[in-house]
Chain A
Amino acid sequence: MTSVSMTVNGKSASGEVEDRTLLVQFIRENLRLTGTHVGCDTSQCGACVVHVDGKAVKACTMLAAQADGSEVTTIEGLAGDDLHPMQLAFKENHGLQCGFCTPGMIMAATDMVNRLGTDLDENTIRSELEGNICRCTGYHNIVKAIKDGASKM
């Protein structure tokens, strides 16, 4: 067992976990933050994207122990009292259907803006979404949502 301690969505969080515990398991099972989803076992689908120390990370590729001492933001912690512009853009552009990939998409999208700026073209967005799979939307409205949300960040 390992003691881990980190800041999650601005609050300190700690726990005793098995060494093999993944960050996504710690977030979902220990902290009960179930907005971060698990859609595959091979770090392809991106449903589990969170921010660790300000960068997008697939929470299934990282041990909870590796995040010890880090600042973690999950979908639940993205917004303050109002929705984050990217969250709002997903709603306003119908960028989600079943909602399962959505938290990872939004966390990847905000990271995209942090890295590449607020003026994103369609090709850049499509290329940057390589690590996030959606089965419902055909990506058309996700691309629109990210372009719109980026411009409002």
Chain B
Amino acid sequence: MSEGIGARVLRKEDKRFITGNGKYTDDVRNEGQCYAAFVRSPHAHAKVNGINKSAAESMEGVEAVLDGHQLTGDGIGNIICGWAITSKDGSPMNMGAWSALATEYVRYVGDAVAVVIADSPANARTAAEAVDVDYEILPAVTAADIAMNSDSPQIHPEAPGNLIYDWEIGEKEATETAIAGAAYVCEMDVTNNRVAPNPMEPRSAVASYDASEDHYTLYTTSQNPHVARLVLSAFYQVAPEHKLRVIAPDVGGGFGAKIYIYPEEIVCLWASMKTKCSVKWTADRTEAFLTDAHGRDHISTAKMGFDANNKIVGFQIDTIANFGAYMSLFSSAVPTYLYATLLSGQYDITNIHCNVRAVYTNTTPVDAYRGAGRPEACYLIERMIETAARELGVDPGELRRNNFIQEFPHQTPVIMAYDAGDFAANLDAALAAADYAGFEARRSEAASRGKLRGIGLSSYIEACGIAPSAAVGSLGAGVGLWESAEVRVNPVGTIEVLTGSHAHGQGHETTFAQVVSDRFGLPTENIQIVHGDTDKVQFGMGTYGSRSGAVGMSAIVKALDKVEAKAKKIAAHMLEADEGDIVIENGEVKVAGTDKTLGWHEVCLGAYTAHNLPEGLEPGLKEGAFYDPANFTFPAGTYICEVEVDPDTGTTEIVQFVASDDFGTIINPMIVEGQVHGGIAQGVGQALLEQAVYDDNGQLLTGSYMDYAMPRADDLPSYKVSHESTICPNNPLGIKGCGEAGAIGSPPAVINAITNAIGNNDLSMPATPAKVWAAIQATSLKEAAE
């Protein structure tokens, strides 16, 4: 059976996970290691007048108690945001200083002020409790719109009015004019709720300093170990790059939260040098809620204008994005180039204008979370077009179809140039799979049981495969977003692929092997994928933004091209044939049209014995490549959610969820379907259950699984997932990416379905039973009054 592109190959990595032999960061134990416990602010905003460490220092097992003055005194740099955004008045963004250990002020609950290093986790934690910090409590603000008020607390001196930037995209006047002339304007206020990412493995770091070699090793829960090494070295000056090895072993989920370089990794590395101990820190779940970068948290007001033919003529959006207390690594890019550039959706819209204000608050920093900006854009567009369809009295599917972009490439007014797609094909497939035509009968049947049944659509588009380096550089990115790969063919013909991508659940060890298998006809068991170690892989930009297929695998293909070309040269010489006649398939190297054949392993051995190579050809068979994408890729599709609401309790049950996606070429359908399932669950979680809630003092009320509603198995349905693909013309495999689609497309489908069921469009995420019940009551009261 083929194990190449398109085959449902079972995962190579599974055996270690199902037998308990995965190796995660917290499983690493160095001889004599110590443990770090952080002293964290219990206040959302306070001045630190002093830290008395003496009681803690004298406690059992304590090696050291370290604070921010020592950290900055040792020259450790501030944490930075790596994407510079320029405000519409031309001024640079206002980035406040962020020290890994706060010195003068704390700005959110969980902000670290000191660290205890001790011989056991319990001793470290006990001593951390004994560190006496003199806090002068200051007023706090948690909501972004309120933070901009003149009488709100000022959080960073660098950002007057707590405003980080005031940015815009698109043509303001033209859009206003188009909307002013519209036959119908849909106006909505839309909030995208703040969520906590919650990979099941909490963040962890194990840092060791070898004084004899002056060398550091860091095991860490990272989606991008090379980026971590670069940032820790070049920006934070923790260790020089060539003296720092970063290993991200098995990582238990990321979803964006493990892209960033957090204070804890910096402090553990620094503390390992200070104490000469290997230092381990593993977050407990409450620390994860307090310190893992949160996602979303947008407030938007928008107008969508339609002409008399129900064509969208203008779309204007004003968005306020809550950044929390500090600017996390990629935070600035999320509500700008990952959000506003997708506001054309799947629709042909001539005039779009979006204004975005980014604001500091006394909350956990906010950064990219599965989808990152694109879910916020999709939610806004798809809630509005569904609402417009209801107000115009037309079918929501047909209003979408009436506005779909039909021809490609298509240049939107907000930077993106869509390269390929067939939006109607996915709409039609989803409508058929959902038996859309039969919905009214199902609604009637549900009504006979006392249930309110509703159906909702969402036609999403996203930009993946980030990204062309020169393009993102011109938009402010501090890094290039290419990927690297190295293909090492061994003398016996087995292959190791070293990739700069990083898997934390995505199954790269299988899918990347399938790409190699497809090229040479080798079994995937003969192919090993190596990733996650800066001593093994030369460089890489890591995994986020659904880039590992479109960018990571493209780098592998480039390296495979070089390997194949060299193998053909060697084989042609060995077989005394013309290089152009050599064909490699099914593990054999043949001369086309003849019976001359060599085993793949014979050619590989020939490359290494070097007894009979073409003149001038180097021995060996190992090639590397860097791939810089030519464009973003544009996965798109239509999701349909069908719900039944119990009017007595407000409880929503999802009775059907259909997804039809265009991901381009699919390497392993089993894995792609799994990615869609997981994405949908996270989107449904945001729509029905999840919200990071702060009280007015800035205390996080949802700081554990007793308070934060994670989706459980009985909250979710089984999903009907299918694909209608067009091939991406801009990368060698035609891949678009599938990691985030589910989380992007699903929230509006869910809310559109519930609002359809209850007949009240005024409903925000998460649609808890209490909110849905209240919305039903409001509808009933309104109907009674009429």
Contacts and interface: CB of A to CB of B under 8 A. Distances in A.
B712 A130 contact: yes
B20 A98 contact: no
Interface residues of B, number: 58
Contacts of A51: none
Please indicate which of the listed interface residues B21, B253, B719 has the most CB atoms of chain A within 10 Å of its own CB: B253
Nearest to B24: A100
A63 B20 CA distance: 22
B507 A133 contact: no
B252 A127 contact: no
B670 interface: yes
B704 A135 contact: no
Given A97-B505, A141-B674, A76 B704 contact: no
A41 B704 contact: yes
Contact of A97 (B507, B710, B711, B718): B507
Interface in B656-702: 670-671, 673-674, 677-682
Interface string B1-25: 0000000001101111111111110
Please indicate which of the listed interface residues A41, A100, A132 has the most CB atoms of chain B within 10 Å of its own CB: A100
Contact of A18 (B22, B122, B201): B122
B478 to A, nearest CB: 28
Interface stretch (A30-38, A64-72, A113-121): A30-38
A75 B19 contact: yes
Interface string A54-91: 00000000000000000000111011000100011011
A96 interface: yes
B706 A136 contact: no
Nearest to A40: B285
B718 A122 contact: yes
A99 B17 contact: yes
B217 interface: no
Given A42-B706, A129-B714, A134-B200, A94 B18 contact: no
Contacts of A98: 199-201, 250-253, 504-505
B198 A135 contact: yes
A8 interface: no
B674 to A, nearest CB: 5
A135 B686 CA distance: 12
Contacts of B16: 99
Please indicate which of the listed interface residues A76, A94, A136 has the most CB atoms of chain B within 10 Å of its own CB: A136
Given A90-B18, A129-B713, A100 B201 contact: yes
Please indicate which of the listed interface residues A44, A47, A83, A140 has the most CB atoms of chain B within 10 Å of its own CB: A140
B689 to A, nearest CB: 12
A44 B706 contact: yes
B284 interface: yes
Interface of B: 10-11, 13-24, 26-27, 29, 122, 198-202, 250-253, 255, 282, 284-286, 504-507, 670-671, 673-674, 677-682, 704-706, 710-714, 716, 718-719, 742
Top 3 A-B pairs ranked by shortest CB distance? Answer: A35-B20, A99-B17, A100-B252
Given A97-B253, A101-B200, 18 more contacts: A35-B21, A37-B201, A42-B285, A42-B705, A47-B200, A75-B20, A83-B15, A97-B506, A99-B17, A100-B201, A103-B17, A123-B714, A125-B713, A130-B712, A133-B705, A137-B678, A138-B679, A138-B680
Interface of A: 18, 20, 28, 32-42, 44-45, 47, 74-76, 78-79, 83, 87-88, 90-92, 94, 96-103, 106, 122-123, 125-127, 129-130, 132-143
